[in-house]
Structure 1
Amino acid sequence: MKEGAKLIYTTRMSVRWGDMDAYGHVNNTVYFRYFEQARCEWIEQMGFRVSPEEPTGPVIINASCTFLSPVNYPATVLIKMYAGEPGRTSVMTWYELFVEGDEKLYAEGAAKTVWMDNRTGKSAPLPDAIRGLFDNAAG
Structure 2
Amino acid sequence: MNERAKLIHTSRIPVRWGDMDAYGHVNNTVYFRYFEQTRVEWLEAMGCRVSVEEAVGPVIINASCTFLAPVNYPATVVIKMYAGEPGRSSVMTWYELFVEGEDRLYAEGAAKTVWMDTRSGKSSPMPDFVRAVFE
Whether the TM-score (by the shorter chain) exceeds 0.5 is yes
Q: Deviations over 1:87-120 (max 9, x none)?
A: 0000000000000000000000000000000010
Q: What's the offset of the Cα at 1:132?
A: 1.5
Give the drift of 1:44: 0.6
Q: Identify the residue that residue 121 of structure 1 maps to in structure 2.
A: 121
SS in 2 for 1:130: helix
Structure 2 unaligned spans of 5+: none
1:61 aligns with 2:82: no
Matches within 5 A, 1:80-91: 80-91=80-91
Any stretches of 5+ residues in structure 1 without a counterpart? none
Q: What secondary structure sits across from 1:66 in the alignment? A: strand
Shift of 1:130: 1.7
Give the TM-score normalised by the residue count of structure 1: 0.96
Whole-Å separation in 2 of the counterparts to 1:99 and 1:2: 23
Number of residue pairs matched? 135
The percentage of aligned residue pairs carrying the same residue is 79
Query: For residue 6 of structure 1, what is the aligned residue in structure 2?
Result: 6
